[in-house]
C-alpha cells in the first residue's frame, strides 16, 4: 500500500531556503571555531600516544596466574582446553610427583585462533587463568610469534 508522506509546513522564511542555509552555515562555523580554538577538548584519542582506560571486565590476552609462592596456580586439568570453542589451547601435564601439586609442562596459546570469549576463564576451577591482562596490542608480522608459551603467558603485566 502506498504511504502518503506528509510534508512539513514551512513558513515564508523557510521556503526562501537561503536563510535556512545561512543558519546551517552558522552551525558549522560554530563547530569549526570550537574545534580550532579548543583542539584538546575533541573526543579523539591519539591512539599510540594516548590509550583508553580499560574497564575491569575487558578481555585481553589470556594470562597464567601465580600463587603466593610464585608457582603457577594451573594444575593442568585440561578443563580450559575442553571449554575452548576455537581450539587455541594446547596443554600437557608434567609427570606427576607424589605429594606435589600437578603442574603443566606445556601451556600454549595460539592468539591467531583465540576469539577472546573468556570461556576458559569461566571453566577454570582454580582461578588459575584470567583475561584481565589489558594486553590487546597483539599484531605481529611473524605468525610464529602468535603462539605464546607457558613462560610468556605467566610473566606479562596486567592492570588488575
Applying CB under 8 A, the residues found at the interface with another protein are 18, 21, 24-25, 27-29, 31-32, 34-37, 39-40, 42-44, 46, 48-50
CB of 140 to another protein, least distance (A): 20
The minimum distance between CB 21 and another protein, in angstroms, equals: 7
Nearer Cβ to another protein, position 50 or 57?
A: 50
Q: Which residue has the cell 576463564?
A: 121
Cell of 131: 583475561
Nearer to another protein, 48 or 56 (CB): 48
Return d(Cα 64, Cα 87) in angstroms, integer.
17
Give min distance, CB of 27 to another protein, in A.
Answer: 8
Q: How far apart are CA 9 and CA 11, in angstroms?
A: 7
- Cell 575452548 -> residue: 84
Strand partners, 91: 107
Amino acid at each position: 500500500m502506498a504511504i502518503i508522506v506528509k510534508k512539513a509546513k514551512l513558513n515564508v522564511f523557510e521556503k526562501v531556503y537561503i536563510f535556512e542555509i545561512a543558519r546551517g552555515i552558522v552551525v558549522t562555523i560554530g563547530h569549526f571555531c570550537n574545534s580550532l580554538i579548543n583542539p584538546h577538548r575533541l573526543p579523539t584519542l591519539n591512539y599510540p600516544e594516548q590509550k583508553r582506560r580499560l574497564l575491569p571486565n575487558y578481555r585481553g590476552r589470556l594470562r597464567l596466574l601465580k600463587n603466593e609462592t610464585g608457582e603457577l596456580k594451573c594444575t593442568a586439568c585440561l578443563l580450559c582446553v575442553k571449554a575452548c570453542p576455537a581450539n587455541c589451547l594446547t596443554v600437557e601435564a608434567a609427570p606427576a610427583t607424589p605429594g606435589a601439586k600437578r603442574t603443566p609442562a606445556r601451556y600454549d596459546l595460539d592468539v591467531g585462533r583465540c576469539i577472546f570469549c573468556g570461556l576458559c576463564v569461566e571453566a577454570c576451577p582454580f582461578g588459575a587463568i584470567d583475561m584481565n591482562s589489558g594486553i590487546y596490542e597483539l599484531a605481529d608480522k611473524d605468525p610464529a610469534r602468535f603462539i605464546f608459551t607457558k613462560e610468556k603467558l605467566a610473566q606479562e603485566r596486567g592492570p588488575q
